[in-house]
Amino acid sequence: MRISIRAPRENGKGTFRLFLPVPLWIARCGFIWKYLPEEQRCWAVMAKELVKALKEYKRQYGSWNLVEVRRAEDNTHVTIRI
């Protein structure tokens, strides 16, 4: 999964860019879930199944945008791509 953010800088000079590659396998790791709040840990089993389903979908159909947001006012663009 890739998270990409582009936004104009506050001083008006140039563009702020942030790119975060986040591997999907992190959601399948058991040790990650113990650091989350107790009410979030119930999703651990479903997250493992969801990651499997997302990987299978990506194998069949290729990459796709989970979230794509564009703000017309200041040309901010946020994309989460699987």
What pTM, to 2 d.p., does this model score? Answer: 0.69
**Domain enclosing residue 23, as ranges:** 2-81
**Nearest Cα to Cα of residue 74 among 20, 3, 4, 9:** 9
pLDDT at 20: 93
- Are 1 and 75 a contacting pair, CB within 8 Å? no
Spatial CB neighbours of 79, under 8 Å, sequence gap ≥ 6: 2, 3, 4, 65, 67, 68, 69
For position 68, what pLDDT does the model report? 94
| Domains in the chain, number | 1
Give me the tens of pLDDT residue by residue for the chain, a chain 82 residues long.
899 999 998 888 889 999 999 888 888 887 888 888 888 888 888 888 888 898 899 899 999 998 999 998 888 999 999 8
Q: Specify the pLDDT at position 74.
A: 84
Determine contact, residues 77/6, Cβ cutoff 8 Å.
Answer: yes
